[in-house]
Amino acid sequence: MRTRAVLTDEDVVKMADAAVAHARANQWSVTIAIVDEGGHLLYLRRLDGAAPITAEIAMAKARTAALGRRESKVYEDVIKQGRTAFLSAPLTGMLEGGVPVIVDGDVIGAIGVSGVKSDQDAAVAREGIAVLGAG
pLDDT value of position 90: 83
For the chain, the domains span 9-101+117-130
Q: Nearest-CA neighbor of 32 among 133, 103, 123?
A: 123
> Which CATH number describes the domain made up of 9-101+117-130?
3.30.450.150
Q: What is the pLDDT of residue 91?
A: 80
Which positions of the chain have pLDDT values less than 50? Answer: none
Can you give the pLDDT at residue 83?
Answer: 92
**pLDDT value at position 119?**
97
Cβ pair 121, 114 in contact under 8 A? yes
